[in-house]
Amino acid sequence: MKASTIFLMIGLPSAFALPAAAPADGLDRPVEMVRLEMSNVKGRKKTLLVRDSFVPIARSRRGEVERRDVNFPSPGPVAFNGDQCGTSTFENTDDDSATGCNIDDCNALASGLRGLDRHWELTNGFGGAVKDWLLLASVGTCQFYVDRSDFFDATTDGKNFVGTSDVADLVADSTANFQKWGTVTYPGGSLPVGSVTPVKGKMGCFPSSWNTPWRIQSNQP
């Protein structure tokens, strides 16, 4: 998760292609998440969901910033790189409404993001027009959010970067260090059941180690 040199651009795998006619919600971003089918270490089928990102393009003749939706993640002008952030803090989320995640789902989310070497290019989403907490990636109950309220304004050419490797590291570390175990009993026996408690933190991301709050939980913050 340290800052690193930008690598050469690589093509977007066909598995990440969005449906040709993804519906819009009126907020200049696609409703659909990009989907990737995978199997966890136990061989069970899982669906990895990753958020589209969108970036400003050339200004119009009237000087307004035109926009276009792009597949996950943005293809330019910066080459893909999954390592966009530095070290992070970790602590239990103090929001009573936050709910925990299934350990298997979080392990699958971390492994599914590893090796993709991609990044998101994000803005504040036009300020109050959308939720501050944006879902970037999820598998089942394990959902990763960033707070974009202090990101670059969507009407400018500025963008905030978060990498897939960064998210994978945060999910893996949270899964290892914030586990909670219980027991489910049934006629004739019992079964240990583990969960990841809601976790939050802050990391510094490109550009200029920009403050980026994040959360891992199973519901929208």
Taking only the tens place, the pLDDT of each residue in 8-61 is 222 333 333 333 333 333 333 334 577 788 887 778 889 988 887 644 444 445
Q: Prior bond to 207 cis, omega within 30?
A: yes
pLDDT band at 182 (very low <50, low <70, confident <90, very high): confident
Which helix (H) or strand (E) covers residue 38, if one does? strand 34-39
Whole-angstrom distance, CA of residue 107 vs CA of residue 139: 9
Q: Which of the pair, 9 or 84, is modelled with greater confidence?
A: 84
Tell me phi and psi for residue 177, to 5 degrees.
Answer: -110, -10
Yes or no: say if 138 and 144 are a contact pair by the CB < 8 Å rule: yes
- How many other C-beta atoms can be found within 10 angstroms of the C-beta atom of residue 115? 11
Mean of pLDDT values over 175-185:
93
Whole-angstrom distance, CA of residue 179 vs CA of residue 70: 36
pLDDT band at 62 (very low <50, low <70, confident <90, very high): low
pLDDT band at 194 (very low <50, low <70, confident <90, very high): confident
Query: At a CB cut-off of 8 Å and minimum separation 6, what does 43 contact?
Result: none
The rounded Cα 76 to chain-centroid distance in angstroms is 18
CA angle at 128 for the pair 122 and 130, rounded to the nearest 5°: 55
